[in-house]
């Protein structure tokens, strides 16, 4: 009975690691305290998998921040600005790279492929002196072994590590990161040798970049790397794990011809076409780790269907050579359905979180070995049938309205230049107008109020009063800081997607369905199980209340349909674009109600638009067409004088800039500062952008407070490539994760920088 888990959630069933990390960062607990919590979580995870009967249990998938940063630490690839002088990398250096510190900024953070998870991007160049500086992989293997669990140590593969890196500041952008392969492989050899000496019999290299569109040179790097490692790997069983998409025929050929490799892990949920490649050619005597249990969603596996797939694969690869696995790490799903006490029994029967997926993997492995649990399979079949036939899944009116969208591209009647003129007459904003992205710090008191209201411990009147007081505090602060376009701070919202999902039909919610986004940041994605509609207005009361407190423009704050889709667990029984169109119609109703209520600036965040971009270029055009169309649907009916903003978070935007322009928003605010202002390069290369744009002027994911001069310098770089009359000044993202002690001086410096530049521009005329 061969079963395998690619990786497992780290935060713990009740976010134990999150709270331990934040306590350590706030200097309320020691590094030893943090390590103790982490060790307890690792121990329980390993024991859980062993008790479930999993044969190949991973180690070194636990991380205090992310697995790529762990690899950077292992290789000693610490940028010089952090002042590391060699030796084993400790928490101070590790977390400075992740979060920055009082004197230096953090490294860039970006999305992990097309997920909502993030990683810290390695900064490399020809002068980096690599050294074996973190023994975490070996230490955790030994830790598990001491508990009686023989694990499969997991390393980010050397080629994927380099392909996910970027040239450090000052290094030519044309520098070949793959040229560093000979410099990092000796450290991988040291790690492998130590793992062998410690008793490891298997090792897993995660090489997810194999699913991307790679050229011949990049594919050759895999061949070269594993040929170089072959002698060191001798005596070990080697698993190369890929996930998130199909392999191209070229990548598949490269994979199965790698030297010294025993097994191949393939995502057969998002990579169903790979099955055709397996049927055509699978190397004799090798193992196939078949990822048939979805690691990216929360729907119960269709066990009968998966068993059929596995039996067909076993006939190809040979009995005993097939291992049942997850499609990818379970990091991307919630931890345990047992902790959900408020989901109704019907919906609960349709779901499987990480703990349940471990059981599914083992049940399939046993069934494949002739030990099928008939009761478990029958219960699963009943749940699958229930979901298909449940009346709560289908709403004919919604389906009819979504179907009627075809045939129109839903553009606003007037071009953006004319709209901006009409809006300026109404809003009368200065040049370089200042604003923030939406949220303000979520204090402990604010969280307590929301929590007590949800638990019916305070009345609705008391809740509304408390939220109004918080909005007034945020409005007064922005007026004191002299910000031009205000926000209400979103005190009524714990999460930008969850808040809207709670008010839309077709959504279900969890109590403890937390998923790690980055570091200690966790989100609780809603579950879209049925057709989506808006029963009543969702934000109009709070936006109108905030606008009544000021004469300055107040932004109505909405989450866009693509972001709601990409940050939810989405139904898998209809195409994603159909669900997205349904959400777009619901948001359209809200936009028009906000306009009727006198809100003249409405922000529809599409933070995750690029995140959903397929990993293969051949699929980009179709996705971008329906994603951009969905955004335009939301605001196609508003007046010219209503200014539509959108916001986008951590991503690489340059390759989709024309789709961003096609969204036809009046103003876009976009992450910029933490990514070395990569965004600006697209404008240097000649792309003309006529709408308002606010590239972020400082990184809100770091506690560091930028000076007025630093922000002014950043604005000047923007003015070198963007017209003065379209540039906005704003932070990178929302401020909910920061403290007021950080937010007030940072925003004060931001406004001061904008005023300084206005004065300089006026005197230059």
Judge whether 733 is annotated as a binding position.
Answer: yes
| DSSP SS3 for 238 | strand
Print burial letters for 354-363: b (CB count within 10 Å at least 16), e (below 16): bbbbbbbbbb
Judge whether 332 is annotated as a binding position.
Answer: no
Q: What are phi and psi of 532, to 5 degrees?
A: -105, 135
Q: What are phi and psi of 342, to 5 degrees?
A: -110, -10
Q: Any idea what DSSP says for residue 434?
A: B
Judge whether 33 is annotated as a binding position.
Answer: no
Contact 679, 670 (CB under 8 A): yes
Work out the number of other CB atoms within 10 angstroms of the CB of residue 471: 24
Strand pairing class (166-167; 152-156): unpaired
Judge whether 671 is annotated as a binding position.
Answer: yes
Judge whether 437 is annotated as a binding position.
Answer: yes
Q: Any idea what DSSP says for residue 554?
A: B
Q: Which of 4, 488, 645, 701 is catalytic?
A: 701
Strand pairing class (3-4; 322-326): parallel
Give the CB-side neighbour count of residue 379, counting CA atoms within 13 A. Answer: 13
Ranges assigned E (strand) in 191-269 = 202-206, 237-241, 263-267
Contact 161, 120 (CB under 8 A): no
Contacts of 435 (CB under 8 A, 6+ apart): 483, 484, 485, 486, 487, 555, 669, 694, 728, 729, 730
Q: What are phi and psi of 126, to 5 degrees?
A: -65, -20
Contact 184, 161 (CB under 8 A): yes
What are the contacts of 377-382 at 24+ separation with CB within 8 A? 377/303, 377/304, 377/307, 380/300, 380/301, 380/302, 380/303, 380/304, 381/303, 381/304, 382/349
Judge whether 513 is annotated as a binding position.
Answer: no
Q: From residue 391, give the alpha-carbon distance in Å to each of 98, 506, 527.
A: 47, 11, 17
Q: How far apart are CA 471 and CA 545, in angstroms?
A: 9
Contacts of 201 (CB under 8 A, 6+ apart): 150, 236, 237
Strand order in the sheet with 237-241: 3-4, 322-326, 287-293, 263-267, 237-241, 202-206, 152-156, 58-59
Q: Which helix (H) or strand (E) holds 715?
A: helix 708-719
Which burial class, exposed, middle or buried, applies to 281 when counting CB atoms under 10 A from its CB (0-12, 13-18, 19+)?
exposed
Q: How far apart are CA 729 and CA 751, in angstroms?
A: 8
701 carries an active-site annotation: yes
Judge whether 647 is annotated as a binding position.
Answer: yes
* Total number of residues shown for the chain: 765
Closest residue by Cα to residue 58 from 141, 124, 148, 163 = 141
Judge whether 490 is annotated as a binding position.
Answer: yes
Judge whether 415 is annotated as a binding position.
Answer: no
Look up residue 551 and give its two tokens: 């004469």
Closest residue by Cα to residue 124 from 103, 108, 136 = 108
Contact 2, 289 (CB under 8 A): no
Contact 134, 70 (CB under 8 A): yes
Work out the number of other CB atoms within 10 angstroms of the CB of residue 397: 9
Judge whether 18 is annotated as a binding position.
Answer: yes
Q: Any idea what DSSP says for residue 94?
A: H
| Helix, strand, coil fractions of the chain, as percent rounded to 5 | 45, 15, 40
Contact 234, 193 (CB under 8 A): no
Contacts of 77 (CB under 8 A, 6+ apart): 122, 123, 124, 128, 130
Known binding-site residues for Zn(2+) equal: 647, 649, 658, 662, 671, 733
Known binding-site residues for L-methionine equal: 437-439, 490, 605
Would you please indicate which residues are annotated as catalytic (active-site) residues? Answer: 701
Known binding-site residues for 5-methyltetrahydropteroyltri-L-glutamate equal: 18, 116, 521-522, 567
Known binding-site residues equal: 18, 116, 437-439, 490, 521-522, 567, 605, 647, 649, 658, 662, 671, 733
């Amino acid at each position: 009975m061969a079963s395998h888990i690619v990786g497992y959630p780290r935060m713990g069933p009740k976010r134990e690691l999150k709270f331990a990390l934040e306590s350590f960062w706030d200097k309320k607990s020691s590094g030893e305290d943090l390590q103790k919590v982490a060790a307890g979580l690792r121990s329980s995870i390993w024991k859980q998998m062993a008790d479930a009967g999993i044969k190949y249990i991973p180690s070194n998938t636990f991380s205090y921040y992310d697995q790529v940063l762990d690899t950077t630490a292992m290789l000693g690839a610490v940028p010089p600005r952090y002042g590391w002088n060699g030796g084993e990398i400790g928490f101070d250096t590790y977390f400075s790279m992740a979060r920055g510190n009082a004197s230096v900024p953090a490294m860039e953070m970006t999305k992990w492929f097309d997920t909502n998870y993030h990683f810290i991007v390695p900064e490399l160049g020809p002068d980096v002196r690599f050294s074996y500086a973190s023994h975490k992989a070996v230490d955790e293997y030994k830790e598990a072994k001491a508990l009686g669990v023989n694990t499969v140590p997991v390393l980010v593969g050397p080629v994927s590590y380099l392909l996910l890196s970027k040239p450090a500041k000052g290094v030519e952008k044309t520098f070949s990161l793959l040229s560093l392969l000979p410099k990092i492989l000796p450290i991988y050899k040291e790690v492998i040798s130590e793992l062998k000496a410690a008793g490891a019999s298997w090792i897993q290299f995660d090489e997810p970049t194999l699913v991307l569109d790679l050229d011949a040179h990049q594919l050759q790097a895999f061949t070269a790397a594993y040929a170089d490692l072959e002698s060191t790997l001798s005596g070990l069983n080697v698993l190369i794990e890929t996930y998130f998409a199909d392999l191209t025929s070229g990548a598949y050929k490269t994979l199965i011809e790698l030297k010294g490799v025993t097994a191949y892990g393939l995502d057969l949920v998002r990579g169903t076409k790979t099955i055709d490649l397996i049927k055509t050619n699978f190397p004799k005597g090798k193992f196939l780790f078949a990822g048939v249990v979805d690691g990216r969603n929360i729907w119960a596996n269709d066990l009968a269907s998966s068993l059929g797939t596995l039996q067909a694969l076993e006939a190809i690869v040979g009995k005993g050579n097939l291992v049942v696995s997850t499609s990818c790490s379970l990091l991307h799903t919630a931890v345990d359905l047992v902790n959900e006490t408020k989901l109704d029994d019907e919906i609960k029967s349709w779901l499987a979180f990480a703990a349940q997926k471990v059981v599914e993997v083992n049940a399939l492995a046993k069934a494949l070995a002739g030990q099928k649990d008939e009761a478990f399979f029958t219960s699963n079949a009943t749940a699958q049938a229930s979901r298909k036939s449940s009346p709560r899944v289908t709403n004919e009116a919604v389906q009819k309205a979504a179907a009627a969208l075809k045939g129109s591209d839903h553009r606003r009647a007037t071009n953006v230049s004319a709209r901006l003129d009409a809006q300026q007459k109404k809003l009368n904003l200065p040049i370089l107008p200042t604003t923030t992205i939406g949220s303000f710090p979520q204090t402990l008191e604010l969280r307590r109020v929301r929590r007590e209201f949800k638990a019916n411990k305070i009345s609705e009147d008391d809740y509304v009063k408390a939220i109004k007081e918080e909005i007034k505090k945020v409005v007064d602060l922005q007026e004191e800081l002299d910000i031009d376009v205000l926000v209400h701070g979103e005190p009524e919202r714990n999460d930008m997607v969850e808040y809207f999902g709670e008010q839309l039909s077709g959504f279900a919610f969890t109590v403890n369905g937390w998923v790690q986004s980055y570091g200690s940041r966790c989100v609780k994605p809603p579950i879209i199980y049925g057709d989506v509609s808006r029963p009543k207005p969702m934000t109009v009361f709070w936006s109108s209340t905030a606008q009544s407190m000021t004469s300055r423009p107040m932004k109505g704050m909405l989450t866009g349909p693509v972001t709601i889709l990409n940050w939810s667990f989405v139904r898998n029984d209809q195409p994603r674009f159909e669900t997205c169109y349904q959400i777009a119609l619901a948001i359209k109703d809200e936009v028009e109600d906000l306009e009727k209520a006198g809100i003249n600036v409405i922000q529809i965040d599409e933070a995750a638009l690029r995140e959903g971009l397929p990993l293969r270029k051949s699929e980009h055009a179709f996705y971008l067409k329906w994603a951009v169309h969905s955004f335009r649907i939301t605001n196609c009916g508003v007046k010219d004088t209503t200014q539509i903003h959108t916001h986008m978070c951590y991503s690489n935007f340059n390759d989709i800039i024309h789709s961003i322009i096609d969204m036809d928003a009046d103003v876009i605010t976009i992450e910029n500062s933490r990514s070395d202002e990569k965004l600006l390069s697209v404008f240097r290369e000649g792309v003309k952008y006529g709408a308002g744009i606010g590239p972020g002027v400082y990184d809100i994911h770091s506690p560091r407070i930028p000076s007025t001069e630093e922000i002014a310098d950043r604005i000047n770089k923007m003015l070198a490539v963007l017209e003065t009359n379209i540039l906005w000044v704003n932070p990178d993202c929302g401020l909910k994760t920061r403290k007021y002690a950080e937010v007030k001086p940072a925003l004060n410096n931001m406004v001061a920088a904008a005023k300084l530049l206005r004065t300089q521009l006026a005197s230059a005329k």
